[in-house]
Structure 1
Amino acid sequence: MNSSNVCEVAMCLFIIVLFTDFLTLNAVKIEKVILPDVIQSQAPEGAILDCLYTVNSSQFTLQWLFNNSDVPVYEWKPNTEPVVGELLEGRLDLSYRASTFSTDERRALHIVSLEPNLSGEYTCKVVSDGLEARLSRSMLVFSPERDFTLVLQKQNRSTRLQCIARGVYPKPELTLEHDSVPFVRQQQRVWRSDGPLFDAESTATLHVNGEYCRPRRITCRLQLPQAGYAAMKKELIYVDGQQNCRNGSSASTSSTILFLALLTITFYSSKTAFL
Structure 2
Amino acid sequence: MQFLLAFVIVTSTILKGILCLPVKIDGETKFLVLENDDMEPTILECDYNVNDSASFLTVKWFRNEKTIYQWIRGSHPAPIPEFKNDVDSSYESSTDPNKQYSALALINPSISSTGDYKCVVQTRSETITKHQTVQVIDVRNYTLNMYRYKIQNETQLECTVTNVFPRPTIIITSEDDDIVKVVANDPQQNEDGYFNATTIAAIYDDDDDMDAHKCVVTFDGYSQNLTTIITSGSCIAGTDFRILTLSFLVYFLFDYLKILV
Structure-2-length-normalised TM-score = 0.67
Tell whether 2:162 aligns with 1:170. no
1:30-69 to 2 correspondences below 5 Å: 34=26, 37-42=29-34, 44-55=39-50, 56-67=53-64, 69=65
1:35 positional shift: 6.3
1:82 positional shift: 1.8
For residues 178 and 82 of structure 1, the distance between their equivalents in structure 2, rounded to whole angstroms, comes to 55
71, 80, 94: which one aligns with 1:76: 71
| Count of paired positions | 206
1:156 positional shift: 7.9
1:158 positional shift: 5.3
Tell whether 2:149 aligns with 1:153. yes
Match of 1:99 in 2: 94
Match of 1:181 in 2: 177
Amino acid at match of 1:152: R
Tell whether 2:219 aligns with 1:224. yes
Q: 1:234-268: per-residue Cα shift (whole Å, max 9, x none)?
A: 011113438xxxxxxxxxxxxxxxxxxxxxxxxxx
SS at match of 1:102: coil
Match of 2:116 in 1: 121
For residues 60 and 34 of structure 2, the distance between their equivalents in structure 1, rounded to whole angstroms, comes to 25
Amino acid at match of 1:201: T
1:157 positional shift: 6.2
Higher RCO (CA < 8 A, seq sep 6+): 2
Contact 2:47 2:130 in 1 (8 A): no
Contact 1:41 1:115 in 2 (8 A): no
SS at match of 1:73: strand
Flag the structure with higher helix content: 1
For residues 85 and 76 of structure 2, the distance between their equivalents in structure 1, rounded to whole angstroms, comes to 15
For residues 39 and 193 of structure 1, the distance between their equivalents in structure 2, rounded to whole angstroms, comes to 22
Give structure 2 stretches of 5+ with no counterpart.
Answer: 1-24, 238-261
Amino acid at match of 2:29: D
Question: Structure 2 vs 1, CA of residues 152 and 85 (structure 1 numbering), >3 Å: closer, same or farther?
Answer: farther
Q: 1:192-213: per-residue Cα shift (whole Å, max 9, x none)?
A: 124443221012344534xx32
Question: Structure 2 vs 1, CA of residues 35 and 117 (structure 1 numbering), >3 Å: closer, same or farther?
Answer: farther
- Name the Cα RMSD after superposition: 2.8
Match of 1:24 in 2: none
Contact 1:144 1:169 in 2 (8 A): yes
* Runs of 4+ in structure 1 over 6 Å off: none
Residue identity over aligned pairs, in percent, reads: 18
Tell me which structure has the larger Cα radius of gyration: 1
For residues 240 and 204 of structure 1, the distance between their equivalents in structure 2, rounded to whole angstroms, comes to 20
Amino acid at match of 2:208: C
Contact 1:38 1:142 in 2 (8 A): no
